[in-house]
Amino acid sequence: MKRALHFGAGNIGRGFIGWLLKQAGFEVTFADVVPDLVSEIAEKRSYRVIELGEHKRVVPVDGVDACLLGTERCVELAASSDWITTAVGVRHLGGVAEVLAEGFRRRMQARLDGDVIVIACENAVRATSELRRQVYARADESLAAFLNERVRFLDAAVDRIAPHREGHAEEVLDCVVESYYEWVVEGSPVPGAPDGITWVADLGPYLERKLYLVNGAHAAAAYLAHLRGIATIGEALADPFIRAHVERFQCEAAGGLAHRHAGFALADLAAYAEKVRVRFANPYVIDHVARVGRDPLRKLAPGERLVGPLMAAAAAGLDTSAIQEAVASALLYSDASDAAAVELQRRLKAEGVEQVVREVCGLEGQLFEGVIDAYRALKNRLRESI
């Protein structure tokens, strides 16, 4: 039987990647840093996936195992597994790289047959390339040659919402996920891979599609909802004003994507965007505005989910008023429990909006002026409503 080692035993690890690997016939072991979670999985060797869509679906997943990350058993599994996947958060890939470097060294020394597939399934751009860099940084010349010949590091884009467990989970190991998912991998298809993977020659357009039409629209809804005193994304999409704003944001962003990437038809992007709005409005998925809006400084950066689609739509010669308003609402985001939001408001007060937009968003010219105008107009509307 094929063997898979998945790093990260959270909802995405067990309820998405590990589950698809198990369905494809792999013997799956989860590696994690939480002892109680590892012990629970190792003892029960099963869990349930609770899918929330039009209907609730409960699916048992049996015959799994778990180990603590970094232990001898974890290293041995890294040496002997056919597929290695992660869902740990990009900041924690260094610990995974340590295990993989030693595991691949042992695989090389043992002369084990077969190639290894490595895919980092993180919410970050080209996370597998970053993991690959960290593994190679720990490799000597002979191991690097082995990696070049026998290990395929494949970049991926993943998308699945893991809602709050409350009201759905009944057992400790229950995983709660939305029914929709997407797992796009750059490269030629691998025999025996999970059926749920979409294989593409160039991941770049798909990364931008998700960043602009999912993450960008999510942020646009959250920041406007915050200004209107709305607590959840579902409630935000039920507000006609916010829903129309999100639709306009996606329309402008989709036009920019279609202009930039010839492989994307505008009609297909519009259908994708509509599906995203349906996901956001899913009554089973309780997603708080404070979570989606967290860290506005990062989300306002050049190339990120707000400024990225703004630049793409502008390059296509399109109207960008909805995206400019989304940027403006992000600049007005205030949350005392969010360090980045506090810092953003401090900088706005100390430096002024013009300098912040230049330095944080990297904007100049007409787009700079458009965002400043949108910011001032939105701020005035807020004053008038008080």
Q: Which strand ranges, in their side-by-side order, compose the sheet holding 3-7?
A: 65-68, 27-32, 3-7, 83-86, 116-120, 151-153
Contact 81, 4 (CB under 8 A): yes
Instruction: Tell me whether residue 380 is annotated as binding.
Output: no
Q: Is 13 annotated as a binding residue?
A: yes
Helix (H) or strand (E) holding 298: helix 296-299
Give me the architecture of the 3-201 domain, per CATH: 3-Layer(aba) Sandwich (3.40)
Q: Domain 205-385: state its class.
A: mainly alpha
The pLDDT assigned to 161 comes to 87
Structure pTM? Answer: 0.86
Would you say 53 is a known binding-site residue? no
116-146 confidence digits (pLDDT tens): 999 999 988 899 999 999 999 999 999 999 9
Domains of the chain by residue range: 3-201, 205-385
Distance of alpha carbon 235 from alpha carbon 189, whole angstroms: 40
46 phi and psi angles, rounded to 5 deg? -160, 160
Give the pLDDT of residue 383: 76
Residue 4 assigned to a binding site: yes
pLDDT band with cut points at 50, 70 and 90 for residue 385: low
Q: How confident is the model at residue 53 (pLDDT cuts 50, 70, 90)?
A: confident
Per the CB < 8 A criterion, the answer to whether 147 and 202 are in contact is no
Q: Any binding-site annotation on 8?
A: yes
SS3 content of the chain, % helix, strand, coil (to 5): 55, 15, 30
114 in a known ligand binding site: no
12 is in an annotated binding site: yes
Residue 106 and residue 150: Cα distance in Å, rounded?
A: 13
Give the pLDDT band (50/70/90) at residue 288. very high
Is 5 one of the annotated binding-site residues? yes
pLDDT band, residue 114 (cuts 50/70/90): very high
Q: Give the 3-state secondary structure of residue 235.
A: helix
pLDDT confidence bin for 278, thresholds 50/70/90: very high
Q: In angstroms, rounded to a whole number, what is the distance separating the alpha carbons of residues 53 and 240?
A: 22
Collapsing DSSP states into helix, strand and coil, what is residue 129? helix
Please write the tens of the pLDDT for every residue from 201-250.
999 999 999 999 999 999 999 999 999 999 999 999 999 999 999 999 99
Residue 14 assigned ligand-binding role: yes
Residues 18-38: tens digit of each pLDDT: 999 999 999 999 999 999 999
